[in-house]
Structure 1
Amino acid sequence: MSNDPKSPGSGLEDLDARLKAARPKLDEEAILRAKRSANDAASQALTVAIAFVLCIAVGAGAGLWVDRFLGTLPWFMIIGFFAGFALGFWYMLFKARQFAERQKERGPDDG
């Protein structure tokens, strides 16, 4: 580039114009990354919540089935409920640890 202020692509005005044109694109990319990160976190939370409820329901349902088969109502249903609760809680901690490790690998700038 030459130092001639009239030639295209030279001078501070051109640099300023190019920076102004690039900033909105960078802001849009940052917004998209933030939205993607928020959507990822929300989908993970919903998945864990559904799995937690299903673990409890399956445990209690299996316990109820065993109780009806053996005629010991409500003992196995109670045991199944607490076993499902424990399994659901373990799964929640497992997924939270996975999510934290993934966020650590991405770094603070990646969302």
Structure 2
Amino acid sequence: MADGDEPGDLDGRRRELEAVLAARRQKEAERSGGAKTGGTGSFADALRLSSEFIAGVVVGAALGWFVDEMAGTTPWGLIVFLLLGFGAGILNVLRSAGLVAEFGSKAPKKGEDDQGRE
């Protein structure tokens, strides 16, 4: 038997394997940007992002309909506010996904710490 094949050395080999796996997991997490992977997490994120978008469009359409009813400007209020709701929905999705910072926030970019260092 070789030196590393002894039965007593199994604990050492297991620790080595765990260290290699931990390093690979960390490297994979850094490469994917810390995004969740998995069935339930990604499905939940998809539902959350789609509901953010739909809410923006519905609120815009409702406000446009209300403006049209009050001002008698049918269909222009609905058209304008529907487009504004569409834009707001996209902005909400981008903010929720972390691709756009909140207005006025000094949030660090991905991969940076609080002092702006990588």
Query: One fold, TM greater than 0.5?
Result: yes
C-alpha RMSD of matched pairs (Å): 3.6
Structure 2, unpaired ranges of 5+:
30-34, 101-108, 113-118
Matches within 5 A, 1:85-96: 85-96=86-97
For 2:69 and 2:13, the matched residues in 1 are separated by 73
Match of 2:36 in 1: 37
Runs of 4+ in 1 over 2 A off after TM superposition: 16-24, 39-46, 92-96
In the alignment of these two chains, the number of paired residues is 90
Higher helix share: 1
For 1:37 and 1:92, the matched residues in 2 are separated by 16
For 2:73 and 2:14, the matched residues in 1 are separated by 75
Query: Does residue 15 in structure 1 map to residue 9 in structure 2?
Result: yes
TM-score (normalised: structure 1): 0.56
Structure 1, unpaired ranges of 5+:
1-10, 106-111
The one-letter code sitting in structure 2 at the alignment partner of 1:46 is L
- Secondary structure, aligned partner of 2:74: coil
The one-letter code sitting in structure 1 at the alignment partner of 2:13 is L
Distance 1:21 1:93, change over 3 A: closer
Matches within 5 A, 1:1-111: 12=4, 13=6, 14-16=8-10, 19-20=13-14, 37-39=36-38, 40-96=41-97, 97=99, 101=109, 104=111
For 2:36 and 2:73, the matched residues in 1 are separated by 49
Q: Percent identity?
A: 25
For 1:37 and 1:85, the matched residues in 2 are separated by 27
- Secondary structure, aligned partner of 2:37: helix
TM-score (normalised: structure 2): 0.54
For 2:91 and 2:14, the matched residues in 1 are separated by 50
More RCO (CA 8 Å, sep 6+): 1
